[in-house]
Amino acid sequence: MAPIFITGSAGFIGFHLSKKLIENGYEVIGIDNLNDYYDLNLKLSRIKLLENISKRKNVNFILKKISLEDKKGINDIFETYKPKIVFNLAAQAGVRYSITNPNAYIQSNIVGFSNILECCRSIKVKNLIYASSSSVYGGNKLMPFKEDQTVDHPVSLYAATKKSNEIMAHSYSHLYNLPAIGLRFFTVYGPLGRPDMALFLFTEKILKNEPIKIFNNGDMIRDFTYIGDIVESLYRLKDKPAKGANEFDYKKPDPSISWAPHRIFNIGNSNPIQLMQYIDEIENALGKKAIKEYLPMQPGDVQATFADTNKLEKWIKFKPNTSIKNGVIKFINWYKEYYQY
């Protein structure tokens, strides 16, 4: 059985997916550039966990430290291991960071993704699943967000690079019959999560008796999705590659499907909540009230996200089922153990 290739395997989602695959007997070839966008020690902890699980399960886990922009290096890995299933989860993340460091997004998310597409084409990969983002919906106000909406009005460079990925992948699906699925992730949270995300930041500040920053004066809505539900969806997708849609109408094209083997899916909880309710759940789990600092909307942010996930649920026969309360408790328990509170 060919190994499964995962970019960003030391990242939040990449780690959890790698963990599930290894636990189920799949060999994983991971790459990660181990950059310092956030705490490197957290990434190293994830890698150590994967190594320990792979030893216990007697399943190969190989991690290569390399950037997506390294065309020759990436190509050499593909030629050596010849994966048939590829998850591209590596990217320069963060909406606010894209405003001050735009070139990092062009290099990783555009140049890097083009290298992945070329490698997938050259060895005839059977299933490419790549990370897009709910950020592509940009200025859309009609909710819930559906995959057939136009996404031509991004409000951040990060969103623009993700929209670019969808277009790039479609061209390869058309030209080279490369099965590709783009996933528009909605806010993902859970144990070993990213330190730049709200749950991590709020928990840290509350425990340190420091104020938490609440943007748009708290008038924010997010479709928070627990990492376990995300990983279950990804795991099922590995066996469900994209196919050309017979129902595609050339006169009224649906952006989410194509005559080519390319699909776009929302991946989220489809159960949005107010940010203030989310903070309430964190306070309840910690048994401690937050010091709140209310601020205006940040450039590049959107006021609300809400996913219609019916298409993906039909595709993989799975619907996220972790409640916000239970998901937050699982994160808090991990956080206190990891940071010894």
Active site residues: 158
Angstrom distance (rounded) from CA 121 to CA 16: 26
Contact 135, 154 (CB under 8 A): yes
Q: Which residues 6+ apart lie within 8 Å of 174 measured at CB?
A: 258, 259, 260, 262
* R_g of the chain, CA atoms, integer Å: 19
Give the C-alpha separation, 209 to 117, whole Å. Answer: 46
Distance CA 8, CA 68 (A): 9
Helix axes 157-176, 112-122, angle to 10 degrees: 20
Beta strands in 36-78 (DSSP E): 61-65
For residue 17, give the nearest of 196, 238, 197, 178 by alpha carbon: 238
Q: How far is CA 239 from the centre of its chain?
A: 19
